[in-house]
Structure 1
Amino acid sequence: MSMSAMTTTAEKKQHDIGRFHILRLISRNRLALAAVIFLVVVILCAVLGPWLMGDLIDKPNFRARNMAPFSFSQGWAYVLGADTLGRSLLARLVVGAQNTLGIAFCAVLCSIVIGGLLGLVAGYSRGIASAMILRGADIVMSFPSLLLALIVLFSLGPSITNLVIVLAITRVPIYLRTTRAEVLEVRERMFVSAAMALGASHSRILFRHIAPIVVPTLVTIGAIDFATVVLAESALSFLGLGIQAPQFTWGAMVATGRGYLSTAWWIAFWPGLAILLTTLSLNILSSWWRTYADPQQRWRIELARSKKGLQEKRT
């Protein structure tokens, strides 16, 4: 076996060991484990929901109008109750996860790409381009994000594309400034100076040497920011400026049920609970990952793991 093949095999084994180590640490933290399990269930609902329950989301059943939850008189699909048209709330929750998470994922991905590219230029360049990019970010940040989204969506009209664009624009300055701060520090390192001395082009230095160091930080911030984008999308859909019928999200379902809170509270309660648990799970997992990714704080997780192991041995 060649030396390169042996190195590749060793790297794969080390990667697998690190991955299983993370899973073991998560399994010893009940909150983080519960958050992971819930998010996996939500992702499975978003992927498989339209295939499994897509026929029930628009199927009216006037015998089940505003039917209370935990009743199996109309079948298991109505265990969470029905809305004003007799449609299954369970089916709409499962299928609505796809639009809710899909819009948030596209918005976060676009903001990471746009903010990351602009941050690379702003951090690496020392000329007028950097100043213009930073002033543009200041202009965007000077407006309250929700107010800016309301103005743009009211002007352009509500649609999925416009919603993704608005959510992405309001989050771009976060990734831009983070990337710029990282680049300002990385560009002073010795390997960047060595690449410049060897005649490497600016684009090669940015995308081959600096960007791979910045990307993990952006991904971590994106995971943390995902919950904020979900809440922003739900708020816009609740105000009627998000996704439009016949498509729907959890926020739109809450808006549909707000007029029936006194007579059929479950119409707004279940999608609101789904939004709450999703954002809470994302925040818990992001907090755990932030602690694990910081070498100066990782000892807290390791210490909790050691204490739990000692308790299990004693019992």
Structure 2
Amino acid sequence: MTQIDVIPDEPKALIRFARMLWADKFALAAALFLCLIFVLALIGPWLLDAAAQKQNLRGRNAPPFDWERGWIWILGADALGRPLLARIVVASQNTMTVAAGAVLGSAVIGTVLGLVAGYAGKRTGLVIMRLADVIMSFPSLLLAVVVLYILGPSVLNLVVVLAITRIPVYLRTTRAEVMEIRERMFVQAAKVMGASSPRIIFRHILPVVLPTLMTIATLDFAFVMLAESALSFLGIGIQPPEITWGLMIAQGRQYLTTAWWLSFWPGLAIILTTLSLNLLSSWMRIALDPTQRWRLEMRASKNEVKP
């Protein structure tokens, strides 16, 4: 059997994953919703920023589903008469930027340190793991509160703080995976063939660890979103005139009894996004695992057989 028979080319692999995703309707709906959110985060501020900032005190706390005012007012208005739909779309960019930046930074740093800690000598691994223990000894939200209070709230500071608190997750996971993978036959064969340590780590070990890390990153994206919302709710996250979903919830807190929609709609956006991330993560955990992928492939094949 040739290598081409064992490893399918990229187009065939993409088609196979697309069929498996189509077979799982919940994961498909989650993926479509997340695609919509990311598209809105990219182009939404360019289209609706002016509407999200324009004040209209005559329409302050306008109720939702008022079709006579126009589609942009479908979710109601805030305390300054700004349409909530436009503000939620514009706020999605900052929320996604903070979450994506923190997850990407923590994943890259934690993965590299985990690869080194798992493959290098015992002394190097212990030093790196003590670094992770130091970070984990502080509650993540408490550390974020202290650092943001000292440095001041901003998008960059928020990304850096949340990224630092999530590094141990990727570090410990990667180290555990590498310590098991480095004893496998293909790694030993690469050593015998004279491959350098960086080549073995990044060419042979990292592709095996990557599916697990992708699943963790998807879940971590939801966690970072909730952490950012909590910090904004406490008043030390993103500050006006910038907006995030968490800040919108905080601004609507004092109107919960009279204008519940001010906090409800951004809260619903957070709930649906985190739910979609969890559903997609569960699908990825099976789809990226060669030992469990057959379940999705069997379901996809059954759907193709049906008339």
Do these two structures clear the TM 0.5 threshold for a shared fold by scoring above it? yes
Asked if the contact 1:26/1:33 (under 8 Å) is kept, the reply is yes
The structural deviation recorded for 1:105 is 0.4
Structure 2 distance, partners of 1:219, 1:66, is 41
Decide which of 133, 144, 155 is 2:139's aligned counterpart: 144
Q: Secondary structure at the match of 2:53?
A: coil
Cα shift at 1:128: 2.9
Q: Percent identity?
A: 57
Secondary structure of 2:242's partner? Answer: coil
User: 272, 281, 286: which is aligned to 2:281?
Assistant: 286
Query: In angstroms, what is the RMSD of aligned CA positions?
Result: 2.2
Does 1:99 find its partner at 2:94? yes
1:271 matched to 2:266? The reply is yes
2:76 equivalent to 1:81: yes
Match of 1:251 in 2: 246
- Trace 1:56-205 onto structure 2 (pairs within 5 A): 56-205=51-200
Q: Does the 8 A contact of 1:141 with 1:170 survive in 2?
A: yes
The amino acid that maps onto 1:146 is L
Query: Secondary structure of the equivalent of 1:272?
Result: helix
Distance 1:90 1:236 in 2: 22
Tell me how far apart the structure 1 counterparts of residues 257 and 187 of structure 2 sit (CA, whole Å): 64
How many Å apart are 1:211 and its aligned residue?
2.9
State the Cα distance separating 1:133 from its structure 2 match: 1.0
* Runs of 5+ consecutive residues of structure 2 not aligned to the other structure: none
Q: Are residues 1:227 and 2:222 paired?
A: yes
2:61 is matched by which residue type in structure 1?
Answer: N
1:118 partner letter? L
Distance 2:178 2:7 in 1: 29
In structure 2, distance between residues paired with 1:12 and 1:129 = 35
Per-residue CA deviations over 1:212-243 (Å, capped at 9, x if unaligned) read: 33333322221221111111111111111111
Matched, 1:48 2:21: no
Q: Structure 1: which amino acid aligns with 2:110?
A: G
CA shift in 2, pair 1:265/1:153, >3 Å: same
CA–CA separation in structure 2 for the residues paired with 1:129 and 1:25: 41
Does the Cα contact within 8 Å between 2:23 and 2:296 map onto a contact in 1?
A: no
Q: Which segment is superposed worse, 297-306 or 33-42? A: 297-306
Structure-2 change in CA distance of 1:196 and 1:161 (3 Å): same
Give the corresponding residue for 2:292. 297
Secondary structure in 2 aligned to 1:242?
Answer: coil
Distance 1:102 1:204, change over 3 A: same
Q: Give me the whole-angstrom Cα distance separating, in 2, the residues matched to 1:11 and 1:199.
A: 24
Task: Find the counterpart in structure 1 of residue 33 from structure 2.
Answer: 38
Which deviations, in whole Å up to 9, do the C-alpha atoms of 1:73-108 show, x marking residues without a partner? 332211110000001100011111111111100000
State the distance in 2 between where 1:14 and 1:32 align.
24
1:3 aligned residue: none
Task: Name the CA distance, whole Å, in 2 between partners of 1:112 and 1:306.
Answer: 35
CA deviation after TM superposition for structure 1 residue 15, in Å: 2.2
Q: 1:52 to 1:147 in 2, by over 3 A?
A: same
User: Amino acid of the residue matched to residue 56 of structure 2?
Assistant: N
Query: Cα distance 1:86–1:27, how it changes in 2: closer, same or farther (>3 A)?
Result: same
Moved more, 156-165 or 267-276: 156-165
Report how far residue 11 of structure 1 moved: 10
The one-letter amino acid paired with 2:18 is L
Amino acid in structure 2 at the alignment position of 1:98? Q
User: What amino acid maps onto 2:271 in structure 1?
Assistant: L
Q: What code does the residue aligned with 2:85 have?
A: L
Greater relative contact order (Cα < 8 A, sep 6+): 2
Match of 1:114, SS state, is helix
- CA positional deviation for 1:302: 3.7
Q: Which AA in structure 2 matches 1:153?
A: L
Deviates more, 1:139-148 or 1:156-165: 139-148
Q: Is the 8 A contact 1:64 1:74 kept in 2?
A: no
Give 1:204 shift.
3.5
Q: Determine the C-alpha separation between the residues in 1 that align with 2:296 and 2:201.
A: 35
TM-score (norm 1): 0.89
- The equivalent of 2:236 in structure 1 is 241
